Amino acid sequence: MAAPELGGPELAGPELAGPELARAVLDAALARRREAAQRPRKRKGSGSGERRLRGYSGPGPDPRDPQLFGDMLQRLMKARGWEKPKAEATVFGSWEKVVGPDIASHSRPVKLEGGVLTVEAESTAWATQLRMLAATLLRQIAGEVGHNVVTKLNIHGPAAPSWSRGPRRVQGRGPRDTYG
């Protein structure tokens, strides 16, 4: 069994095993430690461009100064990659601010998947109106929450009533009227 090369010419000799190998490794580690103790130590900030912050910060901006909560939160969100989920949540949380009070009173966002925002209008007339305003709405949303958060709008009218339950349920597809 050959001795591994662990850090010096001390172990490059004959094959060692058991206690002799352990003694050789220990001797090599002690020799490295003695060499390191004899070398002059570098101060933490010298030469590397780092500066150790101590004591009173003095006038002017300093990283240790109290920071605004909003700024700290913004840096945390950027560091953790939460900008896009925050922007998506803004679409739902501030719908009235994003699209305006008139449109918000007649529509609501339903889901956002892959940049496609599904919006439900309160009537088919409003759904048609929102389809015509889709480009304007996309610009307003991009201006409020950022670009490429919402890339396409899927607008539909109100959901049709369900005919699948009730005391007088009849098998079949239900009435043929159009809802929505």
Same domain for 87 and 150, yes or no, is yes
Is the overall model pTM greater than 0.75, yes or no? Answer: no
Residue 28 within any structural domain of the chain? yes
Cα of 148 vs its chain's centroid, Å: 15
For the stretch 39-50, pLDDT in tens is 876 655 455 555
Residue 161 within any structural domain of the chain? no
Residue 144 within any structural domain of the chain? yes
Residue 45 within any structural domain of the chain? no
Residue 90 within any structural domain of the chain? yes
For the stretch 86-128, pLDDT in tens is 888 888 988 999 899 999 999 999 999 888 999 999 999 999 9
